[in-house]
Every structure is written in C-alpha cells, then in structure tokens.
C-alpha cells in the first residue's frame, strides 16, 4: 500500500474529487475543485479521470514524503516544486521514488493549484465522494484540511508513460475582462440605480474569502424592499446582496439555500477564474443572456476536450 506522508500541509490543503452531486436537497453542497480546469487537466496528465481525488493547494503547497512505493505526480497550476534534487515543471508527469520528499512552494499566479497522483487518493468516500467539506466534517481525510503527520492512502497506479499539457493550450481556457453574469433571479429586488452600479462599478475580493464564498467590497447596492426574503436555492455563482449592500459570491462549499436577494448569477465558464482570485484583486461584472452563458460553457468544454486529446497523444521521456 502506497501513501503520502504530510510533513507540512501548507496553508490550506484539502482532498477534492469532481464533487458530491445529488444531495443539495438535503443541504449538502457538491464541494469539489474551485478550478475544475486545472483539476481535470492535471488529473489527465497522470492518466486519471475527474472522479479521481487529488490535493487542492491554497497559496502555499507544503512538504510531503512518498512512502510504500514510487508514484507518478503532476502539479496543475503556476507553482514551484522540487523533489530528488530537481525542479518539477508544472503540467508534466514526474515519477518519484519511495522515500522522496516533495516540496511545493508558493503559488505564483492565482490562488490554487492541484497535486494529482496516478490512480488518485484512496480515502474513504462519503456519500459517494472523497471531496472535503470541512464545515460539515465530510469526506477527504477525517473531513478536514490536511495536518502535519497525516497519511494519505494512494490507489494503485498504471504506468502510462510520461506526459505533459502544454501552456499554449491552457491559456485559451481562461477568459479576461469582466466576469459574465446572468441577471437575477431577484434583480427586481434592487433599485435601477443599483443594477447600473453593479454592472458599471468594480468590486474587490475581501479578506473574507474561502471555499464557501467570496465577500466583495465596492459600491453599495440598495434594496427596494429590504435585504430579507424567504430562503430559496443558492447555486455556485449566486451573487447575494445582504443588508450592507456588498455582494457575496457563493462558491463550492456554500449553503444550499439563503435568505438574501440574488442580483445575478455567474456563468459556469467563469467559476474556475473566480476560484483563482486572491484577496485584494478587483473585478467587474457584465450581463449576458442565458444562451450566451450556455454557449460559453460549451466552448469551454470543447477547449478542455482538445487539451485532453493533446495530453493523450503527447509523450516525453522520463528524466
């Protein structure tokens, strides 16, 4: 049995797979990777599908030791790493011998990166998923972020040869400029002036930003009838406006219902970009139609599929 020993866990490192789907009606969000693009491609480099669990690293990676046998790893993201006296290039598969120490430094661009292992992480599934939902102590390793001394079991791997994902293909998957939103479902709860302010102003990610949601700071938005309403569904990307008029972007570990009006909803194609925003970064919003949002999602899926095909057909020699 192979495992990964945690020498230092970084700032916030959790086990995530594609997510715990089908339980929102019971108040359980899907969780899963904040940047599903990087997660899927890093998994694919080591021969895994999106159902395989990996480590989501936040700001700083940590230090780990491979035990019980060799393993093949990939780092998905702009992150520094070293092992066995050499620098590990991101988006490339690396074979690490038993006893090797893997040191993952700070994330240089964005907030999150992924460490994938051929075969995946083999913690016990909860409700059909290994994704960590720490506020409910579900999934991952004992339902929490990693800690010093933890041992993560690794599944059996198949040696698929060394592969890479080229940066040129990755850059086309992330958009720039304003974040795209579909207005509503409660835009009538806000004044006309506030709707214009929301789409014309800029909002900064506050220090209160985590996997549950990002609290934003910017021009206050005024309600027509007050900030309270009968609770209804909250999805990843829902933008709620509480009594202080400052937006909250609900994310993967959000509550599944909420009692604040939602001025807009981020399109799914822009969620990975939001998952990479750091506190202090500012963004703007632009309104798109539902068909435009669907078309953006379809283009993103085609781009990911093209990258996956490229990974499958590109092999390089092991060092």
- Tell me: do 139 and 250 sit in the same domain: no
Q: Are 236 and 181 in contact (CB under 8 A)?
A: no
Q: Is residue 241 part of a domain?
A: yes
- Tell me: do 248 and 190 sit in the same domain: yes
Q: How many independent structural domains does the chain possess?
A: 2
- Tell me: do 45 and 131 sit in the same domain: yes
For position 164, what pLDDT does the model report?
A: 85
- Tell me: do 161 and 229 sit in the same domain: no
Q: Is residue 317 part of a domain?
A: no
String of DSSP letters for the chain: -EEEEEEE--SEEEEE-S--TT-GGGT------SSHHHHHHHHHHTT--TTSBEEEEESEEEEEEEESS-EEEEEEEEEEEEETTEE--TTB-EEE-TT-EEEEEEEEEEEEEEEEETT-B-PPPBTTB---BGGGTBSTBTTB---TT-EEEE-------EEB--HHHHGGGS--SSEEEEE-SSGGGB-HHHHHHHHHS-EEEEEEE-SSEEEEESS---BSS-S----EE--TTEEE--TT---EEE-TT--SEESS-EEEEE-GGGHHHHHTPPTT-EE-EEE--HHHHHHHHHHHHHHHHHHHHHHHH-EE---
Query: How would you write the pLDDT of the chain (319 residues) with one tens digit per residue?
Result: 899 999 999 999 999 999 999 999 999 999 999 999 999 999 999 999 999 999 999 999 999 999 999 999 999 999 989 998 999 999 999 999 999 999 999 999 999 999 999 999 999 999 999 999 999 999 999 999 999 999 999 998 777 777 888 767 787 898 889 999 999 999 999 999 999 999 999 999 999 999 999 999 999 999 998 888 899 999 999 999 999 999 999 999 999 999 999 999 999 999 999 999 999 999 999 999 999 999 999 999 999 998 998 887 766 666 5
For position 29, what pLDDT does the model report?
A: 94
- Tell me: do 80 and 7 sit in the same domain: yes
Q: Is residue 319 part of a domain?
A: no
- Tell me: do 19 and 153 sit in the same domain: yes
- Tell me: do 79 and 191 sit in the same domain: no
Q: Is residue 306 part of a domain?
A: no
| 217: CB partners within 8 A, 6+ apart | 203, 204, 205, 206, 246
Domain harbouring 251, CATH code: 2.40.100.10
For position 158, what pLDDT does the model report?
A: 74
- Tell me: do 128 and 194 sit in the same domain: no
For position 242, what pLDDT does the model report?
A: 96
Q: For the whole model, what pTM was predicted?
A: 0.95
Which of 98, 131, 165 lies at the terminal end of a domain, its last residue?
165
Q: Is residue 309 part of a domain?
A: no
- With 0-12 CB in 10 A as exposed, 13-18 as middle and 19+ as buried, what is 87? exposed
For position 137, what pLDDT does the model report?
A: 95
- Tell me: do 132 and 186 sit in the same domain: no
pLDDT tens digits for 138-179? 999 999 999 999 999 999 877 777 788 876 778 789 888 999
Q: Is residue 318 part of a domain?
A: no
pLDDT tens digits for 186-226? 999 999 999 999 999 999 999 999 999 999 999 999 999 88
Which of 137, 165, 193 lies at the terminal end of a domain, its last residue?
165
- Tell me: do 62 and 141 sit in the same domain: yes
Q: Is residue 305 part of a domain?
A: no
Q: Residue 188 sits in which domain range?
A: 179-300
User: Cα angle at 230 between 226 and 231, to 5 degrees?
Assistant: 115
For position 161, what pLDDT does the model report?
A: 73
For position 175, what pLDDT does the model report?
A: 86
Q: Are 104 and 80 in contact (CB under 8 A)?
A: yes
Q: Is residue 307 part of a domain?
A: no
- Tell me: do 192 and 285 sit in the same domain: yes
Which of 103, 132, 165 lies at the terminal end of a domain, its last residue?
165
- Tell me: do 69 and 95 sit in the same domain: yes
């Amino acid at each position: 049995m192979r495992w990964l020993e945690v020498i230092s866990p970084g700032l916030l490192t959790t086990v995530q797979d594609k997510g715990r789907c089908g339980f929102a009606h019971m108040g359980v969000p899907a969780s899963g990777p904040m940047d599903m693009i990087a997660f899927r491609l890093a998994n694919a480099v080591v021969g895994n599908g999106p159902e395989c669990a990996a480590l989501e690293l936040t700001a700083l990676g940590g230090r780990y030791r491979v035990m019980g046998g060799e393993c093949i790893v990939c780092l998905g993201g702009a992150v520094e790493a070293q092992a066995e006296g050499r620098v590990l290039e991101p988006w490339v598969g690396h074979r690490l011998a038993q006893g090797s120490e893997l040191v993952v430094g700070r994330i240089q661009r964005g907030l999150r990166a992924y460490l994938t292992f051929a075969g995946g992480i083999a913690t016990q599934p909860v409700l059909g998923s290994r994704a960590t939902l720490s506020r409910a102590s579900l999934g991952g390793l004992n339902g929490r972020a990693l800690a010093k001394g933890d041992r993560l079991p690794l599944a059996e791997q198949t040696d698929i040869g060394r592969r890479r994902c080229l940066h040129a293909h990755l850059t086309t998957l992330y958009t720039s400029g304003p974040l795209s939103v579909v207005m509503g479902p409660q835009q009538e709860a806000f004044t006309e002036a506030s709707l214009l302010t929301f789409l014309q102003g800029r909002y900064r990610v506050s220090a209160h930003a985590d996997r549950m949601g990002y609290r934003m700071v910017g021009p206050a938005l005024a309600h027509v009838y007050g900030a309270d309403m009968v609770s209804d569904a909250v999805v990843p990307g829902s933008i709620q406006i509480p009594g202080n008029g400052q937006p909250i972007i609900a994310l993967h570990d959000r509550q599944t219902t909420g009692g604040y009006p939602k001025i807009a909803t981020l399109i799914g194609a822009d969620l990975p970009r939001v998952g990479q925003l750091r506190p202090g970064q500012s963004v703007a919003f632009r309104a798109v139609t539902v068909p435009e949002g669907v078309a953006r999602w379809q283009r993103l899926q085609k781009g990911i599929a093209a990258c996956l095909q490229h990974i499958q057909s590109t092999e390089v020699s092991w060092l």
